[in-house]
Each structure stands twice: as C-alpha cells, then as structure tokens.
Amino acid sequence: MTKKLFAEFFGTFWLVLGGCGSAVFAAAFPELGIGFAGVALAFGLTVLTMAYAVGHISGGHFNPAVSFGLWAAGKFQLKELWGYIIAQVIGAIAGAVIIYLVVVGRSGFTDLGGFAANGYGELSPGGYSMVSALITEFIMTFFFLLVIIGVIHEKAPKGFAPLAIGLALTLIHLISIPVTNTSVNPARSTSQAIFAGGAYLSQLWLFWVAPILGGIVAGWISRYLFGKNEKL
C-alpha cells in the first residue's frame, strides 16, 4: 500500500507540475506561448507518461474523481479510497509549491494572478456561468472515466491504455479550458486554489462536486457496459 500511495503522490505531483506549470510559465509566453492547445497537450502527456511509469504500481489514478469512479464501477476497494485521495491532494500541492517557488523568481514578479486555478463567472477564462461550469465538469469527467474503464478492460487492445487516457485528457482540455480552465480533477483544483486564494477558494466546491459525481455516474454505467466482475 505504501508503494501505491507514493506512486499516486508522484503521479499527481507530475500532473500539476507539468500541466499547471505549462499554463503558468508557457501558455502566454511573449510571442512563443504554447496557448490552450499546448497546455492541453501538456496535461495529456503528464498522465500518459506517469501511467506508463507507475501505473502498474497503483493503477495510475492521480485524481480523486478517477478513484471514486473506479470504486463506483466495483474496480477499486473503498478501504484504499481515502488513502489514495490524501496522497493525490498532497502530491498536487507539492507540484504547486514547485511552480510557486519558480514563478516568484521571475524578473518583475508582482503577483501570482490566477495561477492556473479553476473558476466560473468572472474567474472563467471565457466568462461562463456556474451552471455551464457544473455541466462541463460533470460531462468531461463522465467521459474521462468511461474511456479509462473501457481501455483497461481485459478485451481492450493491450498496452495502449495510457496513450488513450492521455489523449482523452488532452481532448477534454481542448474542449473545456475556455469554460473552467479545466479541472476534472479535484486535487489539481485544490492545489492551485490554495495559492490563487480569494474567490478561487470559494468556488473550489464545484471542482470537487462535479468531477466526483461525473466519475461516480460513469462508474455505475460502466457496470452495465463492461460488467462489474469482469477482469480489468
């Protein structure tokens, strides 16, 4: 179990450092910024690389919503759920700490700004409402879990699960960065909101509730699609 928790810690650490780090450091870099597409790809690559690296140890969740979804699907034990979530949140915060320590060393630094945090209303990149954010985060996480559960099924092509999962996360970001800055991951949202503070913290509830509900509903539906007791 200790190895599993360390794997979840490092996987979520890398997800935040790579994904949120790309948003903070490189998205709008003068003239050579990677933009939304680059940030979306960065998030997908973090999951892809860590799923290959440590997925065989812990299952490669790196996300409380994924852990809840797999539990709802009958593929993950409740007794391990809370340990995974704690490890994921701590890993995400550790990644955010590294981003913070780097960004404050920038010439002319004055404040952290949004720090790649998630939000709705005035904090949404495109000005989308709370209802839009709820729908987006629920649906994006729902399909993320359907992809995850489907590609790790025993009848799915072998060896390609991390690639499919990473590409799914990239697609999710391409769709939803303008709406909420894309969460689908409560740990990732928590780590950035802690540093961004203020209204970002007050809106954090949505980025726990919507992704977890989306994951759970996908887990329930997957019992019908894939079968609760079929081997993964």
Q: Residue 214 in contact with residue 145, Cβ under 8 Å? A: yes
- List pLDDT tens digits, range 100-144: 999 999 888 888 889 999 999 999 999 999 999 999 999 999 999
What pLDDT digit, counting tens, does each position of 159-196 carry? Answer: 899 999 999 999 999 999 999 999 999 999 999 999 99
Helix, strand, coil percentages for the chain (3-state, nearest 5) = 70, 0, 30
User: In whole angstroms, what is the distance from residue 132 CA to residue 181 CA?
Assistant: 12
Q: Which residues contact 29 (CB under 8 A, 6 or more apart)?
A: none
Among 43-47, 155-159, 207-211, name the one with the lowest average pLDDT. 155-159
The answer on pLDDT for 148 being more than 50 is yes
- Is the whole model's pTM more than 0.85, yes or no? yes
The answer to whether 74 touches 153, Cβ cutoff 8 Å, is no
> Domain 2-226, what fold?
Glycerol uptake facilitator protein (1.20.1080)
What is Dmax (Cα atoms) for the chain? 57
Alpha-carbon gap, residue 20 to 79, rounded angstroms:
30
